[in-house]
Amino acid sequence: MLSEKEKDEFLQVARKTLEGYLSEGEMPDLRPAGGALTEPGGAFVTLHHRDGRLRGCIGRFEAPDPLYKTVQLMAVAAATEDPRFPPVQSAELSNLHIEISALSPRRPIEDVGEIIVGKHGLSVEKEFNRGCLLPQVATEENWTREEFLSHTCLKAGLPPDSWKKGGMKIEVFEAEVFGEPR
């Protein structure tokens, strides 16, 4: 669990990184004092318009870098590399809300009954197809466990019922989700 101070510092790192990168074209050199921010870890950074519409989301599960560096890299990637959107322009940054999902390690499951909607995120993999959805997505969409699995398969480019047919690696993970006030 991250302290409120650590969450605030993570959000400041993400915001300052985006401000610096979008205006200067370079990653700012930020070095937090210590704590959870300097431990290795995975994270997703999600950008929303102030009205709630998605603007970008990218993350990584495992990272050899300290968590603050992962947050920096994923903030820039969410703003500039999400293939669903054009790159964020510096002028629109003040109208964007930043959300961070600090991730637990993934663990494989044998029975889909282990999935707890609202607690677990999902990662599915079959051959060359991979997809994941964060835990908050199922809650926001009010999905059942089966709907969550189906939508994760769709995200992986697979038929929605692929999870029923076997031969698929299904993993769960947890995320500590926090964001700027809207």
pLDDT in tens, the chain (182 residues): 788 998 999 999 999 999 999 999 999 888 877 777 888 889 999 999 988 899 999 999 887 889 899 999 999 999 999 999 999 999 999 999 999 999 998 999 999 999 999 999 999 999 999 999 999 999 999 999 999 999 999 999 999 999 999 899 999 999 999 999 87
Residue 117 has a CB neighbour count (10 Å cut-off) of 17
Which residues lie below 8 Å from residue 102, measured CB to CB, with a gap of 6+? 2, 10, 36, 41, 42, 43, 67, 175, 176
Report the alpha-carbon distance of residue 32 to residue 36 in Å, rounded.
10
The one-letter amino acid code at 81 reads: E
pTM of the model: 0.88
Spacing of C-alpha 176 from chain mean position: 10
For residues 79 and 21, the answer to whether their CB atoms sit within 8 Å is yes
